[in-house]
Amino acid sequence: MTHPAWGAALAALPSCWREAIGDEFGAPYMDALAEFLLAERAAGKTIFPPEPLVFAALMRTPLQQVRAVILGQDPYHQPGQAMGLSFSVPKGVRIPPSLRNIHKELAGDCGIPAPDHGCLTHWADGGVLLLNTALTVEQGKAGSHARAGWHSFTDRVIQAVNAQPSPVAFLLWGGHARKKAPMLDAGRHLVLESDHPSPLAAARAAVSPCPFAGSRPFSRTNDFLRAQGRNDLIDWRLP
């Protein structure tokens, strides 16, 4: 039985996601996760993203439309930033350093000028699942919900995409994301691992075997889709 805290979210999911992972909402760990979040909020802690946006990645990108997955760690943990889509912030919000590095890589890889905003909904609406390994975080405490149970849920999401008949590209950015590589069928899908696009990781790029800068994830994704005979390539522009 689904915990009452998840009822509205489950009902709002696209039917393809409900069919693929709906039973996960009734798992014991999801009951525990719901109680954990209720207790955290009752204790006066601020949790991001706002509750209606926790499952925004699944809401905006139906399973059958997924052509690529950008996997990050957890939501931004400062006010006004997190919107339930990995690395994305609403228009009008200052662009975080990691996202600026993503913009730089996009420009260097595809020649697409860096936009003046950090909103990635165009990608999400165009078939890019912008997923974090944890879907909530406490304000000011990066990684604070990494052990709350979300990884079991997002693993199920990743497995659902991995099981799809059409090949997709998995872009695993950072240590938390790269740990998911063994779950993926690299014989059918494109699996691109790199460091996190954060300035901290960029500072270690010279000694890293897989730095983010220069990894060309965007063009390599479309090259892969093209090689699979797909003509619905991803529009990486950010209008």
Q: pLDDT tens-digit profile of 188-204?
A: 999 999 999 988 777 77
Q: pLDDT tens-digit profile of 63-78?
A: 999 999 999 999 999 9
Please enumerate in sequence order all residues whose Cβ is within 8 A of that of 110, keeping only pairs 6 or more positions apart, or say none: 218, 219, 236
Q: pLDDT tens-digit profile of 42-59?
A: 999 999 999 999 999 999
CATH top-level class of 49-228: alpha beta
User: Do 49 and 82 contact (CB within 8 A), yes or no?
Assistant: yes
For the chain, domain boundaries: 49-228
User: Do 121 and 128 contact (CB within 8 A), yes or no?
Assistant: no
235 residue type, one letter: D
Report whether the peptide linkage leading into residue 217 is cis, meaning its omega lies within 30 degrees of zero: no
Instruction: Note if 74 is an active site residue.
Output: yes
Query: Which among 74, 109, 195, 223 is annotated as catalytic?
Result: 74
Residue 179, φ and ψ in degrees, nearest 5: -65, -15
Q: pLDDT tens-digit profile of 139-188?
A: 999 999 999 999 999 999 999 999 999 999 999 999 999 999 999 999 99
